[in-house]
A and B are shown apart, each in its own frame.
Chain A
């Protein structure tokens, strides 16, 4: 193995800002006052918030030091399954920083916002084309919000037919947000197990699909990283009983330009611009979860919608069947700019190639590591592969221990204990942006860790050993949380 990435280095301790400040210190100077002070009414005065007094340098050093404790996709490989932590090209940031875009005000009239409206209009068109759908809303703030919007669209569709249904089918390989979105929209999620191949069988769907079921929520590729091969038949079955097919598009990174979701029976799907379309995420956002639909659902899309009339872009609310607004203004615009920049700079051929490489990279890791780690579903995967800790548990080394040990070697841990259908799951999604050398180093590192698990299990139980912060006491943190600053 090459010299490991993980090393020790000088990291500086940093207290909380509240412990750092000193009364009277400040980071700005107000110009001399040239008017008499006026006193506020008593009702407007009182104790201010408890902010520390700090100089500019106090603040800069504080955040610089904290940033050095951090790990991001700009630091190293971040194979977090289901999250698509691909590298985000810096050109996206540059475009989003253009002052015409970054300072655009949402309350400006359309006539003064032609550029931003054009960008939104075209981004919607591009996303419709990539997914093979007919129309797109950019409003939802992130994936789960897109799911909820999709469920509202399905609800509106059935309502327009004068009927209402009570259930939605959700497979056991779904993202946890799926049944939550279903329930939030007032439907009852009906769980269905995947088969021994890790995918849904037509028989399982035929058994539960009935005329009280509004549709199915299917993630494709699913959270085991497997393509739902029976999707066409499943869609036909659902459609034949009057239901609709929702596709959770969180894993679209595997099939961009390869699968036209509209052609395989999907009626509505959401995308995660902050995954597939290379906008930064992690740490809570902001994300963007556009929803793409077939023509049958188009009348129900949220308003306002961007339209082109006589060469001018306008915002239209003139859709009487719309589910209304799902977010203030028009969505997370800055994220849209980055995704638009990504799509245009890649072009159709390279978007397809990105997906092909993402799949190749995942299969490479799967094949190389399947002797080292237990591979519950040994078949070609899409953009991610799922292992388990079955072999290592013989030495009482669990997924968590191996994940923590990866940090010592300079890798972000993969997703662990998800999907739930695999006991002790280790879900690796390398993404297309890792080169072969980095993939090899990741594979060799896992081999070393597996060896350590056999020879010195306690080394792993104590991991991480080199990080700024050692293993956290998650139990005490959860039982006795301290939420004060």
Chain B
């Protein structure tokens, strides 16, 4: 497993306490699991994603991720309608390990209120928090 200083936490993302990341892309917000979560989970073997068209509030469960070690629920970092899901994860859940911020993204949301992004942690804040948890 990675040491805290080995974690990759890109600056252009915002982070939720449950280790989801969110990135504004045009009028959408793309969501996935951060490097800390994928590293702690270990090899991810199954991802259950929502149906596009579902509208969820911030903090609601939107996906379940299963690794060889654990099963975890993921909570939506911003409210809105699910407009796209990463179908590639059905056959290739390992993308969440190999490219957690790239091809391993999970869903795209049409956000209800983009200002919710400001409530999420920055990369530096997330790193500080993770240091505190050690």
* A interacts with B: yes
Residues of A within 8 A of B (CB): 393, 396, 398, 417, 420, 474-475, 478-479
Residues of A within 8 A of B94 (CB): 475, 479
Closest to B46 in A: A478
- Residue interface bits B40-57, CB-to-A below 8 A is 1, else 0: 000101100000000000
Docked-complex contact A475 and B45, CB < 8 angstroms: yes
Docked-complex contact A396 and B46, CB < 8 angstroms: no
**Within the complex, what minimum Cβ distance (angstroms) separates A372 from chain B?**
21
In Å, the complex CA distance between A202 and B31 comes to 39
- Quick one: given A417-B70, A475-B68, A479-B93, are A396 and B1 in contact (CB under 8 Å)? yes
Residues of B within 8 A of A478 (CB): 43, 45-46, 66, 68
Interface centre among A417, A474, A475 (most CB of B within 10 A): A475
Residues of A within 8 A of B131 (CB): none
Is residue B69 contacting chain A, with contact meaning CB distance below 8 A?
Answer: yes
Docked-complex contact A475 and B1, CB < 8 angstroms: no
Interface pairs (14), CB distance under 8 Å: A393-B1, A398-B1, A417-B70, A420-B70, A474-B43, A475-B43, A475-B68, A475-B94, A478-B45, A478-B46, A478-B66, A478-B68, A479-B46, A479-B93
In Å, the complex CA distance between A478 and B1 comes to 20
In Å, the complex CA distance between A393 and B46 comes to 27
In Å, the complex CA distance between A479 and B93 comes to 8
Residues of A within 8 A of B70 (CB): 417, 420
Residues of A within 8 A of B45 (CB): 475, 478-479
**Within the complex, what minimum Cβ distance (angstroms) separates B40 from chain A?**
9
Q: Chain A's interface: helix, strand, loop or mixed, by majority?
A: helix
Residues of B within 8 A of A (CB): 1, 43, 45-46, 66, 68-70, 93-94
Q: Sorted from nearest, which 10 A-B pairs have the closest CB atoms?
A: A478-B45, A475-B43, A474-B68, A479-B45, A475-B68, A478-B68, A417-B69, A475-B45, A479-B93, A479-B94
Residues of A within 8 A of B69 (CB): 417
Closest to A475 in B: B43
In Å, the complex CA distance between A479 and B90 comes to 10
Residues of B within 8 A of A396 (CB): 1
In Å, the complex CA distance between A398 and B40 comes to 12
In Å, the complex CA distance between A478 and B68 comes to 7
**Within the complex, what minimum Cβ distance (angstroms) separates B73 from chain A?**
12
In Å, the complex CA distance between A396 and B3 comes to 10
**Within the complex, what minimum Cβ distance (angstroms) separates A474 from chain B?**
5
**Within the complex, what minimum Cβ distance (angstroms) separates B42 from chain A?**
8
**Within the complex, what minimum Cβ distance (angstroms) separates A230 from chain B?**
27
Interface centre among A417, A474, A479 (most CB of B within 10 A): A479
In Å, the complex CA distance between A9 and B66 comes to 37
In Å, the complex CA distance between A393 and B45 comes to 24
Residues of B within 8 A of A393 (CB): 1
In Å, the complex CA distance between A478 and B46 comes to 8
In Å, the complex CA distance between A48 and B45 comes to 36
Closest to B68 in A: A474
**Within the complex, what minimum Cβ distance (angstroms) separates A327 from chain B?**
28
Beyond known contacts A396-B1, A420-B70, A479-B45: 17 more, CB 8 A cutoff: A393-B1, A398-B1, A417-B69, A417-B70, A474-B43, A474-B68, A475-B43, A475-B45, A475-B68, A478-B43, A478-B45, A478-B46, A478-B68, A479-B43, A479-B46, A479-B93, A479-B94
In Å, the complex CA distance between A353 and B102 comes to 59
In Å, the complex CA distance between A420 and B45 comes to 20
**Within the complex, what minimum Cβ distance (angstroms) separates B94 from chain A?**
7
In Å, the complex CA distance between A417 and B66 comes to 15
Residues of B within 8 A of A420 (CB): 70
**Within the complex, what minimum Cβ distance (angstroms) separates A418 from chain B?**
10
Closest to B93 in A: A479
Closest to B45 in A: A478
Residues of A within 8 A of B1 (CB): 393, 396, 398
Closest to A398 in B: B1
Residues of B within 8 A of A398 (CB): 1
**Within the complex, what minimum Cβ distance (angstroms) separates A163 from chain B?**
29
In Å, the complex CA distance between A398 and B39 comes to 13
**Within the complex, what minimum Cβ distance (angstroms) separates A481 from chain B?**
9
Closest to B66 in A: A478
In Å, the complex CA distance between A474 and B69 comes to 10
Residues of A within 8 A of B68 (CB): 474-475, 478
Closest to A424 in B: B1
In Å, the complex CA distance between A393 and B69 comes to 17
Residues of A within 8 A of B46 (CB): 478-479
In Å, the complex CA distance between A424 and B65 comes to 19
Residues of B within 8 A of A475 (CB): 43, 45, 68, 94
Closest to B71 in A: A176
Closest to A176 in B: B71
Residues of B within 8 A of A474 (CB): 43, 68
Closest to A399 in B: B69
Residues of B within 8 A of A479 (CB): 43, 45-46, 93-94
**Within the complex, what minimum Cβ distance (angstroms) separates B134 from chain A?**
10
In Å, the complex CA distance between A18 and B74 comes to 43
Closest to A420 in B: B70
